[in-house]
């Protein structure tokens, strides 16, 4: 059994934040770590663990008390994702997708009616939330959405399909984009809240995954699916903007997920090299091993302030598009490097399924793809920094 990291960060956390962090870390260590291997190996969504996460109030950290949340903010939520991801990337992704993608958009743009109808139930774990943006023909280029929505009396009729949708099989509600005016480009894309029991709406089994195998996904199929008109999320034509803003926040949670995976792999490797005997001592006695470990630690410690800064910027009510992308890009690429090096330090044992580091490496790969690939993050960052120059000239 590997040793879990210290929970103190030295990053000016409040006492409440330390308490929540410690609570989630204990829970992750006792409840999630023991089954992380099994859920990955058997592609099993851990419903029992998810129910305990709900009991602990973790999905409500971000939301106000009147909706059943605890109003503890983005940083506390990000740290919860981080702590969970240290031991189980799949469960970290489940939480991040449920909160940032499946619940937050209804809270932020759903108005009183949709918020009251869905957000308390999502926080209380009556069902999960899912976010349907990606289509077989439109991923990074999500402005190329092909799903259509046509108003017919008091209903919109949706046709099309979405793929790779996290938590879909456990979701009671889906936030989806569809084109309402093809001639208006991205300004003709609208967002909808789709109840699970919508006639004409169904799920199709997701593909077998490389990593994050304990996290659920499926495709969404719309065949003349009839959505009540009042389930339009925000004004018609603003769905693309709503979805991009949702991703700005979602990226902070994927950054936290990446950081947690990197820290988990680093801790495993640190422990292992002090135990593995070779050349008359342990691996940790070898300077080349120490250097690799030092680099891994440096990458985790460099990612952490970027992630926390992005979360704090959102909590301060300031724009956070740039901060979220910087944190996501850096932390996810750090997670790839750290998990890769962790396997190297374990040698052949790292390559085997016996040890957690190969799972962590496979899980980390999602982080450089989901919610905007690394290439997309570089586009977002470049756009933001060049816009700042243009604005000042």
Ligand X SMILES: Cc1cc2nc3c(=O)[nH]c(=O)nc-3n(C[C@H](O)[C@H](O)[C@H](O)COP(=O)(O)OP(=O)(O)OC[C@H]3O[C@@H](n4cnc5c(N)ncnc54)[C@H](O)[C@@H]3O)c2cc1C
Positions marked catalytic: 371
Q: Is residue 326 near ligand X by the rule CB under 6 A? A: no
Contact segment (CB under 6 A) with ligand X among 143-151, 191-199, 271-279, 372-380 equals: 372-380
* Sole binder of ligand X in the list 127, 131, 272, 308 (CB under 6 A): 131
Q: Is residue 370 near ligand X by the rule CB under 6 A? A: yes
User: Mind spelling out the 3-state secondary structure of 287-306?
Assistant: HHHHHHHHHHHHHHHHHHHH
Question: Residues 77-116 vs ligand X: string with x where CB under 6 A?
Answer: --------------------x---x---------------
Question: Residues 195-224 vs ligand X: string with x where CB under 6 A?
Answer: -----------------x----x-------
* DSSP classification of residue 340: H
Closest residue to ligand X: CB criterion: 139
Q: Is residue 171 near ligand X by the rule CB under 6 A? A: no
Q: Is residue 324 near ligand X by the rule CB under 6 A? A: no
- 176, 220 in Cβ contact below 8 A? yes
Distance CA 158, CA 234 (A): 17
- 233, 242 in Cβ contact below 8 A? yes
Distance CA 269, CA 262 (A): 11
Phi first, then psi: what are they for 69, rounded to 5°?
Answer: -90, -170
* DSSP classification of residue 186: G
Q: Is residue 164 near ligand X by the rule CB under 6 A? A: yes
The first and second tokens of residue 50, run together, are: 């998810």
Q: Is residue 369 near ligand X by the rule CB under 6 A? A: yes
Which of 106, 134, 109, 108 has its CA nearest to residue 122? 106
Q: Which is nearer to ligand X, 322 or 380 (CB)?
A: 380
* Sole binder of ligand X in the list 54, 233, 289, 366 (CB under 6 A): 366
Which of 128, 391, 366, 383 has its CA nearest to residue 255? 366
Q: Which is nearer to ligand X, 269 or 366 (CB)?
A: 366
The first and second tokens of residue 349, run together, are: 């044992």
Distance CA 290, CA 283 (A): 8
**Residues in binding contact with ligand X, number by CB under 6 A:** 21
Contact segment (CB under 6 A) with ligand X among 82-90, 192-200, 253-261, 365-373 equals: 365-373
Q: Is residue 133 near ligand X by the rule CB under 6 A? A: yes
- 249, 320 in Cβ contact below 8 A? yes
The first and second tokens of residue 287, run together, are: 């300077």
| Nearest approach, Cβ of residue 246 and ligand X (Å) | 10
Q: Is residue 132 near ligand X by the rule CB under 6 A? A: yes
Contact segment (CB under 6 A) with ligand X among 36-44, 134-142, 312-320, 338-346 equals: 134-142
Annotate 36-76 with DSSP letters as a single string.
Answer: HHHHHHTT---HHHHHHHHHTTGGGTTS-GGGT----HHHH
Contact segment (CB under 6 A) with ligand X among 42-50, 163-171, 248-256, 287-295 equals: 163-171
Q: Is residue 134 near ligand X by the rule CB under 6 A? A: yes
Contact segment (CB under 6 A) with ligand X among 47-55, 161-169, 306-314, 315-323 equals: 161-169
- 145, 178 in Cβ contact below 8 A? yes
Binding site for ligand X (CB under 6 A): 97, 101, 131-134, 139-140, 164-166, 212, 217, 366, 369-373, 375-376
């Amino acid at each position: 059994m590997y040793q879990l990291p210290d929970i103190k960060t030295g990053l000016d956390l409040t006492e409440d934040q330390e308490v929540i962090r410690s609570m989630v870390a204990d829970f992750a260590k006792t409840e999630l770590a023991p089954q992380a291997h099994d859920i990955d190996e058997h592609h099993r969504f851990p419903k029992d663990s998810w129910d305990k996460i709900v009991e602990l109030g973790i999905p409500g950290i971000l939301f106000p008390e009147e909706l059943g949340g605890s109003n503890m903010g983005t940083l506390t939520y990000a740290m919860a994702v981080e702590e969970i991801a240290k031991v189980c990337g799949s469960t970290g992704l489940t939480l991040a997708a449920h909160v940032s993608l499946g619940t937050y958009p209804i809270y932020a743009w759903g108005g009183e009616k949709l918020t009251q109808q869905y957000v308390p139930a999502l926080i209380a774990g009556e069902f999960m939330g899912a976010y349907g943006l990606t289509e077989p023909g439109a991923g990074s280029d999500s402005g190329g959405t092909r799903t259509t929505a046509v108003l017919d009396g008091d209903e919109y009729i949706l046709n099309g399909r979405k793929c790779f949708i996290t938590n879909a099989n456990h979701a009671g509600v889906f936030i989806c984009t569809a084109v309402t005016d093809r001639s208006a480009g991205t300004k003709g894309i609208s967002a909808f809240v789709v109840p699970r029991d919508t006639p004409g709406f169904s799920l199709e089994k997701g593909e077998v995954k490389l990593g994050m195998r304990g996290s659920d996904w499926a495709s969404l199929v719309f065949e003349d699916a009839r959505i009540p008109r009042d389930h339009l999320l925000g004004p018609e034509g603003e769905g693309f903007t709503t979805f991009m803003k949702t991703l700005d926040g979602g990226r902070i949670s994927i950054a936290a997920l990446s950081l947690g995976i990197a820290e988990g792999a680093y801790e495993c490797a640190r422990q292992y090299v002090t135990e593995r005997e070779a050349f008359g001592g342990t691996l940790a006695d070898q300077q080349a091993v120490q250097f690799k470990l030092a680099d891994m630690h440096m990458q985790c410690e460099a990612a952490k302030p970027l992630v926390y800064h992005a979360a704090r910027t959102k909590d301060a009510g300031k724009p956070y598009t740039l901060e979220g992308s910087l944190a996501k890009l850096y932390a996810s690429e750090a997670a790839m490097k750290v998990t890769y090096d962790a396997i190297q330090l374990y040698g052949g044992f790292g390559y085997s399924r016996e040890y957690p580091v190969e799972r962590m490496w496979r899980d980390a790969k999602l982080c450089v793809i989901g919610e905007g690939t690394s290439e997309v993050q570089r586009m977002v960052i470049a756009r933001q920094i060049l816009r700042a120059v243009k604005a000042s000239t």
